[in-house]
C-alpha cells in the first residue's frame, strides 16, 4: 500500500468523523488505519479542526486522557440557522400552502432530506448541552426531523404511535387532550423502547396548543425517563399560552394575510436571539 499524502489522510479522517457524529475515535485507530505516526495524525486533526471551524462545517473535539480521542459534533452557526429559517419562511409564504382548519402544508419541506438534515443539525445545536439518550418523534410527520436530529446526536430515534401495534410487544399508553381541538387521544410506546432514566429530546413539526407535548411528558413519566428538551419546526402564534412552557421553535406561524392570501410566518425569537 502506497503511503498516503497528508491531504488524503485528512480527507479520510474527516469523512469518517463526520459520518458518525459524537463517536469517539482513538488516534491509535487512525494511525493504524492510515499507516502514519500518532504525532502526524494529531497534527492532521488540528488542521481538520481549523478547516471545519473556518468554513462552519461543525466541530472537531479532542478528548484528553485514557478514554480520549477525537469526535465530530454537528453544529450550525447562528448565521446558518437564521439563513435556514429565512429560507423556510420564504417557501412557506406561498398562499397555496394554507389548508382547511388553519393548517399549513409543510410535508414537502420536512421530507426534503437536505432541509431535514439542516433542521436536525439546528436542533442538535440548540440542545447540544442536553446530551439526549434518545430522540422522540410523534408519528407520522414528525419522524423525518426527529430522525435527522437523532442522527446528529448519534442516538436512537423512538417513534410514539397513536395506537398500539401487535408487532411491537407489550406497550405503555397514556391519554392526552389535544390542546387545540380538545379531543382525547392516546399515545403508545413499546415497553422496551426506552430504558429507565433515559434523557429524551422530543422533536416535532408543529405545536399549537401543546397537548401532544404535554402527553409526551406524561408518557415519559411512566417510563421514568426525563424530557430534556422539546424542539418544533413551527409554532402557531395563537394560542399564546401553550400547555408546555419549555420548548424551542424555529418558526412562528401568525396566520394568513386576508388581503393578499400570503402566509405570515417568521423566524422565532430563539432564532433571532441566537448569538
Task: Kindly report the number of other CB atoms within 10 A of residue 41's CB atom.
Answer: 23
Using the rule CB under 8 A, is 112 a contact of its own copies? yes
Using the rule CB under 8 A, is 233 a contact of its own copies? no
Using the rule CB under 8 A, is 182 a contact of its own copies? no
> Which member of 27, 73, 119, 158 binds its own copies (CB under 8 A)?
158
Using the rule CB under 8 A, is 31 a contact of its own copies? no
Distance CA 207, CA 213 (A): 8
> Which member of 105, 218, 222, 255 binds its own copies (CB under 8 A)?
105
Binding mask 57-96 for its own copies (x = CB under 8 A): x---------------------------------------
* Grid coordinates given for 99: 389548508
Using the rule CB under 8 A, is 143 a contact of its own copies? yes
> Which member of 77, 78, 94, 103 binds its own copies (CB under 8 A)?
103
Nearest to residue 72, comparing CAs of 15, 115, 31?
A: 15
Q: Are strands 134-138 and 199-207 parallel, antiparallel or unpaired?
A: parallel
Using the rule CB under 8 A, is 144 a contact of its own copies? yes
Beta bridge partners of 104: 98
Distance CA 111, CA 115 (A): 8
Using the rule CB under 8 A, is 11 a contact of its own copies? yes
> Which member of 32, 39, 77, 111 binds its own copies (CB under 8 A)?
111
Using the rule CB under 8 A, is 99 a contact of its own copies? yes
Using the rule CB under 8 A, is 6 a contact of its own copies? yes
Using the rule CB under 8 A, is 139 a contact of its own copies? yes
Using the rule CB under 8 A, is 4 a contact of its own copies? yes
- 189-218: which residues touch its own copies (CB under 8 A)? 190, 192-193
Nearer to its own copies by Cβ, of 148 and 271: the residue is 148
Minimum CB distance to its own copies, residue 203 (Å): 13
> Which member of 81, 84, 92, 150 binds its own copies (CB under 8 A)?
150
Distance CA 220, CA 8 (A): 46
Q: For residue 68, with 0-12 CB atoms within 10 Å meaning exposed, 13-18 middle and 19 or more buried, which class applies?
A: exposed
Minimum CB distance to its own copies, residue 273 (Å): 27
Residues that bind its own copies (CB under 8 A): 4-12, 14-16, 18-20, 44, 47-48, 50-52, 54-55, 57, 99-101, 103, 105, 107-108, 111-114, 116-117, 139-140, 143-144, 147-148, 150-151, 154-159, 161, 166-169, 190, 192-193
Amino acid at each position: 500500500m502506497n503511503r498516503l499524502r497528508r491531504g488524503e489522510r485528512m480527507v479520510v479522517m474527516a469523512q469518517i468523523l463526520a459520518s458518525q457524529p459524537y463517536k469517539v475515535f482513538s488516534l491509535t485507530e487512525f494511525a493504524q488505519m492510515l499507516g502514519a505516526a500518532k504525532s502526524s495524525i494529531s497534527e492532521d486533526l488540528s488542521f481538520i479542526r481549523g478547516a471545519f471551524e473556518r468554513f462552519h462545517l461543525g466541530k472537531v473535539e479532542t478528548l484528553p486522557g485514557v478514554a480520549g480521542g477525537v469526535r465530530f459534533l454537528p453544529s450550525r452557526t447562528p448565521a446558518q440557522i437564521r439563513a435556514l429559517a429565512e429560507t423556510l419562511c420564504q417557501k412557506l409564504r406561498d398562499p397555496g400552502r394554507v389548508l382547511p382548519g388553519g393548517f399549513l402544508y409543510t410535508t414537502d419541506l420536512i421530507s426534503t432530506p437536505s432541509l431535514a438534515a439542516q433542521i436536525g443539525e439546528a436542533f442538535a445545536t440548540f440542545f447540544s448541552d442536553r446530551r439526549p439518550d434518545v430522540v422522540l418523534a410523534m408519528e407520522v410527520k414528525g419522524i423525518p426531523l426527529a430522525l435527522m436530529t437523532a442522527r446528529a446526536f448519534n442516538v436512537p430515534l423512538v417513534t410514539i404511535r397513536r395506537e398500539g401495534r401487535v408487532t411491537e410487544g407489550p406497550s405503555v399508553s397514556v391519554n392526552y387532550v389535544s390542546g387545540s381541538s380538545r379531543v382525547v387521544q392516546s399515545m403508545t410506546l413499546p415497553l422496551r423502547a426506552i430504558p429507565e432514566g433515559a434523557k429524551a429530546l422530543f422533536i416535532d413539526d408543529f405545536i399549537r396548543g401543546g397537548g401532544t407535548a404535554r402527553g409526551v411528558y406524561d408518557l415519559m413519566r411512566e417510563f421514568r425517563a426525563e424530557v430534556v428538551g422539546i424542539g418544533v419546526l413551527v409554532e402557531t402564534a395563537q394560542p399564546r399560552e401553550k400547555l408546555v412552557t419549555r420548548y424551542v421553535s424555529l418558526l412562528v406561524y401568525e396566520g394568513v394575510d386576508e388581503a393578499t392570501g400570503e402566509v405570515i410566518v417568521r423566524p422565532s425569537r430563539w432564532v433571532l436571539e441566537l448569538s
